[in-house]
Structure 1
């Protein structure tokens, strides 16, 4: 591709793919922000390590969005007067790819830990997922370093790095298949034969399958476009959205807990009940006893009575 026409065709293609990918990625990022807000709002009592993990994922996902924005700004604004400079890939675009690989590995390792707990210590399955995630991260990091060293879009080295990076996505797909299969298997074997409990597990299995299908589909398309069309930039939209799909599917698996309670049991999630302690004097206890001896109206099917027994300075309340 030495002629100006070929150069402009390549730039036009990467611009088009970049704009499409950016539009989809920022839309998904908006959903990520909403899901993150919902998580911290609904589950303040989750363990601190999990909340910190979610916070770090959101920060990294935000970073990828900022880096993509800078890359497009460099393409369309900074290099506007000299389009030949666009042949050199902006550093932010390459760094975004590295952060994406880190997010992918983190999410897969999280689900490996979930599977380890769900399977009551299946080290083979969870270990295999972690190993695949680390292999993917290592190979993709190597590819990112190579692109940093030679970021000319038309060079053979850059093309080979892209093919290598796309091929590694196949390892990530294998990890996602193990995660999805493991979740479905252990959720199915943990059913207790009770209608409502089994309904809950069936819904969890459906969510696990949906999560696996989404991430596998994006990674597979990323792989196909990189390997089948090494001279084109069709892989760009999938490279820009893959990290956001991982973050969103993880947040969805965390936030689904509340909606599962509502839909499975047919009622709203109960509000937290707070208990406070207070020491009553014998006089206050006697007054409370007089007020609490109330029964339901005669037309109701259930009667509830309260009684307060006073012994010295201690009180005891019973419900009958």
Structure 2
């Protein structure tokens, strides 16, 4: 059984970071509904669903940390990562990540027009969700006096790798098609907008993929110490903030460019606008 120092420590650090990111996502949600009251209903529902799941996620983390730091003081030798709240969080995290990934997959499809590429990313996203749910079901069957070892290490790693591949393909694909659109136009304004959107794509895409890669590395290297939980605890919040940042970033482009035409998406109903000064350009 791992000691309290390498179980409680990561839990507290992860909970603190997750709480901070949840505050950021709450502010971003307020900003989204205030700035985009007429946005597509499906996006409004998506934001509401993701935030409800994230709220449940942060409650599970807080309760889990409480059991480790307060209740665990009565029996320090019995401190363990496994609990009902932890098992619930294992289910909530892939649900949040899958919803966010579906949003970015839709965005990739709108930019690329490739159903095959969108289907490829969708398969990896669903593989992540299905594999994690199976792993969580196996965890629920393990008795209360669990050991530090994961019963399905290979499945855990597989789901994390699938999530990373999905995020990286989406990021690389969006950057490629944005740059292709930029090269096709002769207007400097389009170039500037494409550059800004590309930077947003890289920032949000790398945030999720690098977080998942870090979880994989820590899980493989220190799976029996549970240091990887500090990063896994904040994974859902990283996905939530990436979604809200992508939606709210449209405000900057809309302010700078008032005459907007829809190349791949529009400013008021879509994901990312590409603007031009000339109304006759398609």
Q: For this structure pair, what is the TM-score category when the shorter chain's length is used for normalisation?
A: 0.7 to 0.9
> CA offsets, 1:163-215, max 9 Å, x none?
63244211111001110011112112223221112100111011111112111
Q: 1:70 aligns with which of 63, 70, 77?
A: 63
Q: 2:139 aligns with which of 128, 135, 147?
A: 147
Q: Could you tell me which residue of structure 1 aligns to residue 219 of structure 2?
A: 226
TM-score in terms of structure 1 length = 0.75
Distance 1:223 1:152, change over 3 A: farther
Q: Bigger relative contact order, structure 1 or 2, given CA contacts below 8 A and separation 6+?
A: 2
Q: Aligned partners of 2:11 and 2:28: how far apart in 1?
A: 25
> CA offsets, 1:97-149, max 9 Å, x none?
210011111111111111112223x1110001110000011111111111122
Structure 1 outlier segments of 4+, above 6 Å:
none
Q: 2:159 aligns with which of 161, 168, 171?
A: 168
Answer whether contact 2:22 2:237 (CA < 8 A) is retained.
yes
TM-score in terms of structure 2 length = 0.85
Q: Aligned partners of 1:73 and 1:217: how far apart in 2?
A: 28
The answer to which of 254-263 and 171-180 deviates more is 254-263
Q: Could you tell me which residue of structure 2 aligns to residue 17 of structure 1?
A: 10
Bigger radius of gyration among the two: 1
Q: Give the SS at the match of 1:13.
A: helix
Q: 2:27 aligns with which of 27, 30, 34?
A: 34
Q: Aligned partners of 2:218 and 2:158: how far apart in 1?
A: 10
Aligned residues: 257
Is 1:188 the counterpart of 2:179? The answer is: yes
Q: CA deviation at 1:19?
A: 0.5
Structure 1 regions of 5+ residues with no counterpart? Answer: 1-6, 266-271, 273-320
Q: 2:239 aligns with which of 225, 241, 246?
A: 246
Q: Could you tell me which residue of structure 1 aligns to residue 105 of structure 2?
A: 112
Structure 2 regions of 5+ residues with no counterpart? Answer: 259-267, 269-282
Q: Could you tell me which residue of structure 1 aligns to residue 119 of structure 2?
A: 127
Let me know the Cα RMSD of the aligned residues: 2.0
